[in-house]
């Protein structure tokens, strides 16, 4: 393992036990985050089955999720957040403004939009984690780093985890995500790196949006997602 939260599933990457961030002792994993599960090998499917996952939440867009596998014993919940990054980069390329700085700006804008435009999706993620009543839940997007990264940051915030630890968890995607070949997208390698890797400024943009629109992360959780003190306590119980 490359980190104590890392879970090895052959055919999937960036699979992690979020409970390790809240001091959960080794045992049944309650909340798991990952990249997509589309290419799980037979061995990977067996290992997935051993996790006892009851609910799989797919945050990918409709086209991205078209090949989602049927995983025996799980309930699949599709909460789509449509991807926007590649289209925005191609617009920059057409306008002659494509650069690393432009790509960073595109990513930061995407994170702000996650918070502002998709509060209902994140509220549903919390709902399904709480409704699972200690049965394991896994949530993922395509790479398990952006949409999934924001969802994980919100859950950890609700659990009272320090911002520094949330950022540390977020940056693990740079070690644990195995990206597919994106060479078919005609963009410079440095620009590709800016969208494949995560940066602290991306997640900071999400937190800034919470502050600008709602007064801060705690207020966002309560006012936008309906996660107040009672729900936060229940979430803590569900993670233990």
Residues sharing a CB contact under 8 Å with residue 234, sequence separation 6 or more, in sequence order: 130
d(C-alpha 80, C-alpha 115), whole Å: 14
- The CATH number corresponding to 16-239 among 3.90.550.10, 3.40.190.10, 3.90.190.10, 2.30.30.790 equals 3.90.190.10
pLDDT at 186 (0 to 100): 78
pLDDT tens-digit readout, 57-70: 999 999 999 989 99
- pTM of the entire predicted model: 0.94
Answer whether residue 27 shows pLDDT above 80.
no
> Would you please indicate which residues are annotated as catalytic (active-site) residues?
141
pLDDT tens-digit readout, 132-145: 987 999 999 999 99
Q: If you compute the radius of gyration of the chain from its CA atoms, what whole number of angstroms results?
A: 17
pLDDT at 136 (0 to 100): 94
Stretch 86-108: mean pLDDT, rounded?
Answer: 96
pLDDT at 133 (0 to 100): 82
């Amino acid at each position: 393992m490359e980190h104590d939260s890392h879970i090895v599933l052959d055919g999937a990457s960036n699979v992690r036990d979020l409970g390790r961030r809240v001091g959960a002792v080794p045992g049944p994993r309650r909340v798991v985050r990952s990249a997509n599960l589309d290419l799980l090998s037979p061995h990977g499917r067996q290992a997935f089955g051993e996790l006892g996952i009851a609910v799989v939440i797919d945050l990918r867009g409709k086209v991205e999720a078209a090949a989602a596998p049927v995983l025996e014993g799980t309930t699949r919940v599709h909460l789509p957040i449509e991807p926007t990054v590649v289209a925005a980069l191609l617009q920059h390329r057409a306008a002659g403004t494509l650069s690393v700085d432009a790509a960073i700006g595109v990513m930061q804008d995407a994170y702000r939009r996650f918070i502002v435009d998709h509060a209902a999706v994140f509220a549903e993620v919390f709902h399904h984690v709480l409704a699972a009543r200690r049965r394991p839940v896994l949530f993922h997007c395509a790479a398990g780093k952006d949409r999934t990264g924001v969802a994980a940051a919100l859950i950890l915030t609700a659990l009272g985890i320090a911002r520094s630890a949330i950022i540390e968890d977020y940056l693990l995607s740079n070690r644990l995500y195995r990206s597919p070949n994106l060479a078919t997208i005609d963009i410079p390698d440095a620009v590709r790196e800016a969208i494949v890797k995560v940066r602290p400024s991306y997640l900071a943009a999400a937190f800034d949006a919470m502050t600008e629109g709602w007064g801060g992360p705690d207020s966002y959780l309560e006012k936008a997602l309906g996660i107040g003190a009672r729900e936060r306590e229940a979430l803590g119980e569900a993670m233990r």
